[in-house]
Structures are given as structure tokens and as C-alpha cells.
Structure 1
Amino acid sequence: MSRDARWNALLELLAAHGRVEVEEAATTLEVSAATIRRDLDQLAEQQMLTRTRGGAVAHGVSYELPLRYKTARHASEKQRIGRAVADLVPAGGVVGLTGGTTVTEVARGLSVRTDIGGDSAAGSSAPPALTVVTNALNIANELVIRPQIKMVVTGGVARPQSYELTGPLASGVLQEITLDVAVLGVNAIDVREGAYVHHEGEAAVNRLLAERAQRVIVAADSSKIGRRAFARVCELRRIDVLVTDDAIDDEAAAGLREAGVTVIAV
């Protein structure tokens, strides 16, 4: 197992349990205790955790994995969801994208759409271009080199955990535009209360994206469903479509559909 894979696994254990023990982690990951100690020391140097005697604990009460460590979680499901959501975005439209690993896969799906051309000028025979509005720096970085996509980035203060821009500068831009579709990445979906994220600043920007859009699509793997996080983004009535993976619980899917959400499982 590579170092990056071990670090990702250790942070997964930390996110799930709040603490990790050296001997247990060594057994789980099938490496030596010395290797785990070294990994924990290096993660502590990056302020990703707090070392304790015999292991480590998470910082704070609520633990949020930074985006760069979440890429491997449910990777195949997120890729399928990303492609499916990208196919729902109309060519020539304006789409708003939040941050997150699943929405990053949506952006990658949009970047390879063959029906999105690079010249929408009058009289051009090329397919219409697409306008993407995002507050996510990593998504903007991936799409800005695509000539067929007009890239609009909000202002704001960058969060290192998610690469998302938040605050009044981001809100100020979004209040001046309209969107055909908003694609929201969330940390949790409660089948009665709606969609949630960990950070209140991200929730505010995501909520505004939803309010400025004619249609709202939530892209989330099934592990997010039936949960709550700290800050609510929107009620279920604001969500038109949920695209998730086929491991979604039947009862949860039925509850979402009863609330008026179209559920697409891929």
C-alpha cells in the first residue's frame, strides 16, 4: 500500500471513529506499527490530527476531511454520478457548480461532452457553448482550459478543506446572475429536512446558487442519504433531482420521491 493510500485510510478511520490506535490501524492496513507511527507523526505535522500516546485523535468535535483526501471515497460511484449529471445539463445553458469531489466529476463529465462546441457566435455551425459558474477553485482550474466552456468564478475567501470560495464577495456575484441549472454537492441529505454541508459559509453560497437556478440537481452518493450535517443548504422542496448510486435505500428513495424529488440511481 502506498503512503498516500495509507494516509487516506487513516483519515477515513479518524473521520469514522474520532480516534485511531496504532496497533489496530497496523492490523487493519497490514503494515507495521512503526509505519503507522511515522504516518501519524507526518499527518500531525500537517495539522491533520493530534497525536496521542498510542495513536491519534481528530481535531475538534466535528471532523471534515479535506477535499484532497476524499477523492478515493466511493470513487466509482462518484464517477458514474458525475457522468449522469453532466448529461442532464443543457448545451448552451448556464450551470452553477458547487465544490466537492462528486461535483468535480460532474465538471469532468461536462468537459468531454461532444455536443458542447467552442463557438456560439451567430451563424456558426458549431454546437452552442456552455457557461459554468462556480465557487470551487479546483473545478475552475480544470475547466478554464476548455475552449468550449465559458468559465465564471465567484470571488470570496477560499476554504482549504474544500477549495470553495465563500463570504459576501461570492454572494455578491451570485445575486447578479441567473442559472439554468445548479448542481449541488452536499455532505448529507435528510429525507425530511433537506440537504446539508459541514460549513455554514458553504451552505450560504450553495443556497444562493439554488435560489438563482431554474432547476436544482443534487449529486451525492448513497452514503450521504439519511444523514445530517451542521448547516442546512435547502429544503427538499428546492431540489428537483437527486442523482445517486444504486445502493440507495429503497425506503429513503421512496421518501424522497414522495417529497417531490426525482431520484436517479446509476
Structure 2
Amino acid sequence: MSKRERWNTLLELLADEGRLEVEETAAVLGVSSATIRRDLDELAEQQMLVRTRGGALAQGVSYELPLRYKSSRHASEKQRIAAAAVELVGDGEVVGFNGGTTTTEVARALALRAGKGRQETSALTDATAPVFTVVTNALNIAGELAVRPQIKLVITGGVARPQTYELVGPLAAGVLKEVVLDIAVLGVDALDPQLGVMTRQEDEAGISRLFAERAQRVVVVADSSKLGKRAFARICGLEAVDTVVTDAAAPAEAVARLQDAGITVIRV
């Protein structure tokens, strides 16, 4: 197991348990106690956790795993979800993306599709014209798409959250209130049949809600670990969602309840 993989696993365990003990964690990961101590010391230096005698505690009361450490979680599922979700986008449409690892994968898939589309049509049309318009509040998505001439990129303003790279606040809201989207692709932290679509941070929830309100169609992309879960801040009710794209491990009961609410569920 590489150092990055160990760190990902340590932070995931910490997010689930709230605390770690060196000896127990070493046994779980199959490495020496000395290795775990070094890893915890380095993560503490980055303020990712609080080092304690014999282990570590989650940093802060409400622990949130930063985006750069979440990228390897359910990676293959997210790529399959992205491939299915991008097929829901029509040619030339205006697409909104909030932040998250799954929406990042969808944005990458859209960029590849746009590149192929421009190659196929360049002989008949203006090769410099964008194939899609993307509106996003996610700095990492904007960074990847900014170099894609086939995509017209609109970035909201706002204050950056270092955990998720999302721009939030009145400046972000101001831009979204001035645009109209064909489709909003939303990454979420939880999807509950009664409470709807949720995330951990209230400021991010407000911006994601605006994405949904400004779009003709709303697609939620969420791996099966998010279904049937609840989080602190509500984005919107199920009545605002048209399609949920998830993986094949999604619980049948959760899928049925979403379908009963009139949502199209795609499992990949």
C-alpha cells in the first residue's frame, strides 16, 4: 500500500470513527505501528487531524474529508456514473456543475465528448466555436476546463472553501441568478427519500439549490454510499430532481422509493 493510499484510508477511518488508535489501525492496514505513527504525525502537521497519545482525533467537531483525499473513494463507480450522466447532456446545452469528485468526473467526460464532437464537425462548422457552455462554482473543474477551447466556461465568484474547492456566498449566488441552465449536474453528500438532497455545509447547499432552480433539468450523480443517508444541510426536495445516476450497488428499496417519487434512476 502506497503512502497516499494509507493516508486516504486513515482519513476515511477517522471520518467514520472519530478517533484512531495506532496499534489497532496498524493491524487493519497491515503495516507497522511505526509507519502509522509517522503517517499520523505528517497528517497532523497538515492540520488534517489532532495527534493524541497513542492515536489521533478528527480535526474539529464536524469532520469533512477534503476533496483531494476523496478522489480515490469509489473511483470506478464514479467513472461509470460520469459516462452515463454525460449522455444526458444534449449537444450545445448549458450545463451547471457544483463541486465534488463525481461532478468532476462528469466534467472530464463532457470535455472528452466536446473534443470528439468538434473534430467530427470542424469541416462543416467554425472549429473555434464552443460545443458546450459550462457554469460552475468549482475551482478544480474550472481549472480543467479552462484550457478546453471547445467549452465556453463561466465561473461564479465567491469565497473559496479549501475542503471542496467550491466558491460560495453572495458573489456566487449573484452570478447564478443571472444565468439560465439547460441541465444542472449536482454532486451530493446524501440522498434521503423523505428529506431529499443534502450536503454537509449550509453555504454549499445554498449555491447547489440555486443551480437546481436555474436549470430545466436536474441530474443528481451519487454513488450508492450516498443513498438513504442524511446530511446537515438540505439542497432541495426530490420534486426538484429529474434523474439520479448511481452505481449497481444501490439498494433496491432506496431506488424504488426514488422511482415512486417520479425520478428516473439509472444504475451503472
Q: What TM-score comes out, normalization by structure 1 length? A: 0.96
**Which runs of at least 4 in structure 1 moved beyond 4 Å after TM superposition?**
118-121, 125-128
**Correspondence for 1:144:** 146
Asked whether the equivalents of residues 119 and 128 of structure 1 are also in contact (C-alpha less than 8 Å), the reply is no
**Correspondence for 2:237:** 235
Offset from partner CA, 1:91-136 (integer Å, 9 cap, x none): 1010000000000000110011156328999x82669610000000
CA distance in 1, matches of 2:178, 2:117: 25
Asked whether the equivalents of residues 48 and 59 of structure 2 are also in contact (C-alpha less than 8 Å), the reply is yes
Could you list the runs of 5+ residues in structure 1 that have no partner in the other structure? none
Asked whether the equivalents of residues 135 and 155 of structure 2 are also in contact (C-alpha less than 8 Å), the reply is yes
Aligned length: 265
RMSD over equivalenced CA pairs, Å: 1.8
**Correspondence for 2:188:** 186
Offset from partner CA, 1:159-181 (integer Å, 9 cap, x none): 00000000000000000000000
Asked whether the equivalents of residues 99 and 162 of structure 1 are also in contact (C-alpha less than 8 Å), the reply is yes
Asked whether the equivalents of residues 95 and 131 of structure 1 are also in contact (C-alpha less than 8 Å), the reply is yes
**Correspondence for 1:91:** 91
Asked whether the equivalents of residues 130 and 151 of structure 2 are also in contact (C-alpha less than 8 Å), the reply is no
Asked whether the equivalents of residues 107 and 139 of structure 1 are also in contact (C-alpha less than 8 Å), the reply is yes
Offset from partner CA, 1:179-216 (integer Å, 9 cap, x none): 00000000000111101011111000000000000000
Distance 1:200 1:262, change over 3 A: same
Distance 1:233 1:120, change over 3 A: farther
**Shift, 1:86, TM fit:** 1.0
Write the letter of the residue equivalent to 2:175: V
CA distance in 1, matches of 2:121, 2:235: 34
Query: How does 1:238-249 map onto structure 2 within 5 Å?
Result: 238-249=240-251
Could you list the runs of 5+ residues in structure 2 that have no partner in the other structure? none
**Correspondence for 1:124:** 125
Query: How does 1:29-108 map onto structure 2 within 5 Å?
Result: 29-108=29-108
CA distance in 2, matches of 1:220, 1:153: 23
State the identity as a percent.
Answer: 65
Write the letter of the residue equivalent to 1:107: A
CA distance in 2, matches of 1:195, 1:163: 20
**Shift, 1:30, TM fit:** 1.1
Distance 1:61 1:175, change over 3 A: same
Asked whether the equivalents of residues 139 and 165 of structure 2 are also in contact (C-alpha less than 8 Å), the reply is yes
Asked whether the equivalents of residues 91 and 115 of structure 1 are also in contact (C-alpha less than 8 Å), the reply is no
Instruction: Report SS of the residue matched to 2:118.
Output: coil
- Match for 1:177 among 176, 179, 184? 179
Query: How does 1:145-224 map onto structure 2 within 5 Å?
Result: 145-224=147-226
**Shift, 1:2, TM fit:** 1.3
**Shift, 1:60, TM fit:** 2.5
Asked whether the equivalents of residues 118 and 147 of structure 1 are also in contact (C-alpha less than 8 Å), the reply is no
Instruction: Report SS of the residue matched to 1:112.
Output: helix
Write the letter of the residue equivalent to 1:20: L
Is residue 133 from structure 1 mapped to residue 135 from structure 2 by the alignment? Answer: yes
Instruction: Report SS of the residue matched to 2:41.
Output: helix
Offset from partner CA, 1:56-105 (integer Å, 9 cap, x none): 01023321100000011000000000111111111101000000000000
CA distance in 2, matches of 1:153, 1:33: 45
Offset from partner CA, 1:22-62 (integer Å, 9 cap, x none): 00111111111011011101111111111111100102332
Q: What TM-score comes out, normalization by structure 2 length? A: 0.95
**Correspondence for 2:21:** 21
Write the letter of the residue equivalent to 2:2: S
Write the letter of the residue equivalent to 2:38: R
**Correspondence for 2:260:** 258
Distance 1:160 1:35, change over 3 A: same
